Amino acid sequence: MTDNRVQESVITPSLQGQCKLGVSDWGKCPLKAEHLGSVATEGKSDGGKAGGGSAYIDFHTHHPSREGETVVRDGIDTWGAHPWNLQFPPEERLWGAMAIGECGLDRLCSSPYAEQMETFRRQIRLSEQLAKPLILHCVRAVDDVLRLQLEEHATQPWIFHAFRGKPEQMKQLLRCGMYVSFGFRHNVESLAACPVERLLLETDEDPRPVRLLYEEAARLRHTTPLEIGKALQRNYQAIFSRAARQPFPNESADKS
């Protein structure tokens, strides 16, 4: 979920160089991924395989998939307490989710910032406990987000959702081990410069097909939508292959 407010690229010097998580650091919490988490159940076109066979992956959306798409749907495949409302979903939904989120910090919304910080910290810990990726919503709060990442020793993949910042801010996020997800509203220099192994694309609430984003990314990066698609398939697997569904604590007892 995004709004029309432009993200502010502010990073204090005190955080420069402190974030050193890389892809190789993720997954320190061992997890037997017996399956890769489900994709959207409505309009699914890939036979239930996580990203397998679909030409286009939409990494964050509020819409069902179209033909040829794999989608990760907010409120179906991912669950979290958004900073706009701070409401936690039922615990069993978090255990069964592909990722935790959207969650994060937003200095321009009406929710008390101290409560946002507490709620976000709780979800970082859940992401680590359940070995699931975290989908980040961040508005004018990059410093605090990166500080909490350091304080909580986060090792799971973080996806910076709907990134619209400048390349300088993007480089700081990349140094902190994040994937960067771009929507239809984006900084063209950042989309062109993002390393393909950290690049994601999403429609969020926009009704246009994600295919158009792949075409735009290919144009800016002087490649083809097919090559972008292959790279994002690899990224999908890297992010979600560890995020197997965890059994809810009461399930084992119920089945015995």
Structure confidence by residue, pLDDT tens digits, 200-239: 999 999 999 999 999 999 999 999 999 999 999 999 999 9
Measured CA to CA, the distance from residue 193 to residue 202 in angstroms comes to: 17
Phi and psi for 172 in degrees, rounded to 5?
-65, -40
Judge contact between 139 and 164, C-beta under 8 A: no
CA-based nearest residue to 80, from 94, 98, 96:
94
Q: For residue 34, is pLDDT > 70?
A: no
Q: Token pair 């037997």 is at which residue?
A: 32
DSSP category for residue 56: E
Question: Which value, to the nearest 10 degrees, does the dihedral of the CA atoms of residues 204, 244, 235, 118 take?
Answer: 50
Rounded to 5°, the CA angle 253-255-256 comes to 65
pLDDT bucket at 253, cuts 50 / 70 / 90: very low
- For the chain, the domains span 34-255
Asked whether residue 78 carries a pLDDT value surpassing 90, the answer given is: yes
Closest CA to 175 of 11, 52, 28: 11
- Mean pLDDT, range 116-123, rounded to an integer: 97
What residues contact 126, with CB distance under 8 A and at least 6 apart? Answer: 94, 100, 132
User: Average pLDDT over the chain, rounded to whole?
Assistant: 81
The amino acid at 55: A
Average pLDDT of the segment spanning 19-34: 33
Q: In the prediction, which pLDDT does 241 show?
A: 85
- This prediction's pTM: 0.79
The CATH class, in words, for 34-255 is alpha beta
